[in-house]
Chains A and B, each alone.
Chain A
């Protein structure tokens, strides 16, 4: 059951296409992440939903009602801005109460709801402080509380973790997820951080150059990317061009025969293998041979760069002891057929098949 629907939403600035015809259905209570590099149109899409940018074409439907032409101060959506945009001249409590004030909620009721919302984000004792007295993480929570206090049908988050340091970001991500589950509000979040998207989202909407590349659950999107962009933006991947005229269990890549479980596909293709799916193979089971040109230690895993006839390949293996190869070693690599994906080669950005 679709709660928020974007139908053919687009935004053009003169000749520049910021967002091309965009279709998306968000279910009630779902947490969706708009993910992509800068300039992909994710923020513009969010701003159109919020009402601060007028779409060039398309409609936005909320619970069946068309809100495309509704002014931003009448949509009742909860928004957390990248800079938090807290009112510096008001206390935390007044900030959170502002939306309720605009709705005409009585003072007593307002106070109760503000207290409850602040408890939700664990900021109860900070109610009478001013934003400038708070840390970055606390300010973010105030922004969240302010948006949630009005009990919006949809919560919009614009890169809310951008200003936090790595450790804090991780903590906030977990907290945000828990909060969203508790409250059950339909949420759309914009981010450029793929790890964040995969941590938080029920579904990830991957965007590039104004178009939606792929939509799906994080695990699906990671294991079954639909093209070069999707596979290299979400995680790392080894991607090679391949062509075949007939279906089968193998495909020719630059003169080497490599296995795949995608037996049906033919035509101009991309052959994709993720680094963690590749193993060192000393014997004849090696699919390809090469030399290790770099080895990097990353704490919980090792990353290797191997020069092969196919080009530079990356592989990783978990840190379960000593590394299995050193720089300069001649090695063989292998991987299972089901870990090799075949996808159509994209000429320009395309939508998910």
Chain B
């Protein structure tokens, strides 16, 4: 054990640390503090600390509905991503090299494209004049256009599209660590294909499902562009409400309070799920 401390790592990390403290930590603390001040009717921020903003949020039904909608949507999106993301990751892991390369571009590539572009595509698909409705009308399945834009369903579908790559990635990472011969072992003991998937593969990828699920949940709850564009003005979620308060009503303290509540709920749910899943499946976590 050398008595002299090596200062090099500290020198190397200081610039990054200072930058992050200044532009992330400090602003977040300021926001927290901002939420504890009242909003003056004429604009501006008062100087007495108060919990008025939080009380407002707790009491007003308007906000209750918005929070319920936001987290209901986030949970639904997460579940859907698990349902379609896990099998997709499994198939990806079994494809041959050539098909896998193509599939990765198709499945993960959209992550590199701005959410505005992707959501625009859904706006075109989901509109009353959009392709999906045209197909439904032409095939005679419906007699008039199905309303998908500006609906909860539309937002959920678009969000699943935006977020499912994260789930696929997380589960795929878990699949890499899996010993493929356990599948063969199960087969040699008489298990059919679906039993192998259900009893052998899926339990071993639970860590990936958990990590993917937490990412998707957090991103879905704090999504802005997709609910704004597909959901429209009437289908408000917390992030769009924050936008309204901050840039519309200029009520920064209330906006800040909403942001704090959002972060706290996401954190609590994440930690709770984390602990629950890890405890129940602890033999799979190293």
Contact = CB atoms under 8 A, between A and B. Distances in A.
Interface stretch (A79-87, A173-181, A230-238, A245-253): A79-87
A341 B198 CA distance: 59
Interface in A68-83: 72-79, 81-83
A286 B283 CA distance: 68
Contact of A102 (B191, B203, B281, B286): B191
B189 interface: yes
B179 A89 contact: no
A290 to B, nearest CB: 51
B190 A103 contact: yes
Contact of B182 (A72, A78, A86, A99): A86
A130 B190 contact: no
A259 B187 CA distance: 57
B188 A50 contact: yes
Nearest to B178: A88
Given A73-B192, A74-B190, A89 B184 contact: no
B195 interface: yes
Given A88-B284, A89-B283, A130-B283, A83 B179 contact: yes
A326 to B, nearest CB: 51
A28 B182 CA distance: 28
B190 A99 contact: yes
Given A102-B195, A150-B189, A72 B283 contact: no
Interface in B245-285: 281, 283-284
Contacts of B283: 88-90, 130, 132
A202 to B, nearest CB: 24
B185 A76 contact: no
A30 to B, nearest CB: 21
A183 to B, nearest CB: 17
Given A52-B184, A85-B181, A89-B284, A99 B189 contact: yes
A87 B186 contact: yes
B200 interface: yes
A102 B204 contact: no
Contacts of A222: none
A280 interface: no
A334 interface: no
Contact of B184 (A81, A88, A102): A81
A235 B284 CA distance: 45
Given A88-B283, A88-B284, A89-B204, A81 B187 contact: no
Contacts of A74: 190
Contact of B190 (A50, A81, A132, A150): A150
Interface of A: 50-52, 72-79, 81-83, 85-90, 98-99, 102-103, 130, 132, 146-147, 150
